Amino acid sequence: MPAGMEQTMRPLLWRAANFYPNKQIVSRTHTGENRYNYSSYSNRVNRLAHALTEYGIQQGDRVATLSWNHHKHFETYFSVPLIGAQLHTINPLLSSEQIQYILADADDQLIFVDRSFVPILKSAIDTISTIEKGDLILMDNSRMDDFDIPTYEEFIRSHPPTYDWPDLDENQPAGLCYTSGTTGDPKGVEYTHQMLWGHTMSMLTPQGIPITDDDTVMPVVPMFHVNAWGFPLAATTAGAGHVYPGPSPDSADIVELIEREKVTISAGVPSVWLKVIDYAENNEVNFTSLDTIAVGGSAVPKSMIRWFDTHDTEVIHAWGMTEASPIGTVSNLKSSLTDIEYESRVDQRAKQGIPLPGVEIQAIGDDGKKVPWDNETLGELWIRGPWITTEYFGHSDTSEESFENGWLRTGDIVTIDDEGYINIVDRAEDIIKSGGEWISSIKIENIIMKHDGVIETAVIGVPDEKWQERPAAFIIPDESINPNTLTDRITSHIESEYPSWWVPDTIEYVDKIPKTGTGKISKKDIREQYI
């Protein structure tokens, strides 16, 4: 490729700083609120680059963050990759053992940590000889009495606001994120400059989640979840405003920021927006600025789509995974579907959608052959594309089962309709194989969740001598509900929509359902706990 044409992250920052210098970046932190513009942001990114270089960070080194969504975390997004190092965003909600494993596996040279995550980090580094107290930088403005490490502001203060960025190869690693480890140890996924560049460009197309310089973008999804699904990079490239909600934002915080900062686009998991809806139903809110929310991480309830439609806010259902950088498909309506009746449009929008431009998909059945796009035949979703990883960091020996001829085997069991929209039926490890038939645990869960008095549920397959597996449901009920009556209602409902053998052999009422570090239900832990 000719010189100057490399697909790196450098021109993304250059564009924002030079063409939108006065665009605002608003951020909540532990100590208050910060407000500045792209020009000041760029200056601080340059200062951080000098500080990292002086510290000894070299090309290829990894720099980690344990941090919430705020402007300092956002500054590391560009500074670390642009000096040729690799930004490793760590999920602080993982178990202490998983964080220990990740820190040791990544061999991070420096860690930026928020005050609230210091106890987690202290516990983790006690067992890792390669990380010392001097390798930590506190993101807050003042030092801690019981853990005296330099602050971020001390780290960057004396350095100049300009930096001569090195020329980088587009294949230079820029980011690193680990999977949640639901089926074993977390696995590292590397992102090169080209992968992040390509993901950003495709995301900004009309078939992605288009962002313009007229938008103000607020990622509620944590920045340690695969670069906040790419929204900070896409918003910067577009010259849009940023709003970062800071540590542990609740529904009131989210609504207040939307109203005050005139947020037009936001992103988060469905549970966040269901809580916002509940808050809005009991308080006076003003969502007139909010045009779009991107939703992913789990299935979007159709009721949520309908509610936001009545408030002139479009819900865009996206699907992805750590290995996909992360967005792979988006459920925008094709022009051929815009005139169908409303409920049919809702049905279509609730699916996981069609691939972003540049991504290919196929569904592979048990026989190893492609399944037809008939909205009925089940198969495992395979994807490939310029920003889809093809192996795991440092563990190419474990990659064979997940990758094949450039395709990523996602582990998601799907149907694909004749328009190309995928609908995730279950995870491969969670599909219940009973008497030669497949039973979707997700579909049973969706039926159970429709009943009043159900707070949460999980359905798994349990071993059965005759049928191989049979479904078992675990339900957290509301205290006011009679379990026997609820069981009868659920059984009747399932039988009305599916074959009788879909009815769980066991329906057990529990006080708690195990969760992963990302807040998802951990069916692995349920199996270990109840089987």
The answer to whether 481 and 448 are in contact (CB under 8 A) is: no
Distance CA 229, CA 267 (A): 8
| DSSP tag of 515 | B
CA 333, 228, 396, 180 dihedral sign is negative
Distance CA 384, CA 381 (A): 10
Task: Report, as residue numbers or ranges, the catalytic residues.
Answer: 179, 323, 433, 438
Peptide bond into 326 cis (omega under 30): yes
CB atoms within 10 A of CB 310: 7
The answer to whether 498 and 443 are in contact (CB under 8 A) is: yes
| DSSP tag of 212 | -
The torsion angles phi and psi of 128, rounded to 5 degrees, stand at -115, 110
Task: Say what angle helices 118-125 and 96-106 make with each other, to 10 degrees.
Answer: 70
The answer to whether 10 and 82 are in contact (CB under 8 A) is: yes
Distance CA 309, CA 345 (A): 12
CA-based max dimension of the chain: 72
The torsion angles phi and psi of 434, rounded to 5 degrees, stand at -125, 115
Query: Within 13 A of 507's CA, how many CA atoms are on the CB side?
Result: 22
Distance CA 429, CA 433 (A): 10
Burial of 121 (0-12, 13-18, 19+ CB in 10 A): buried
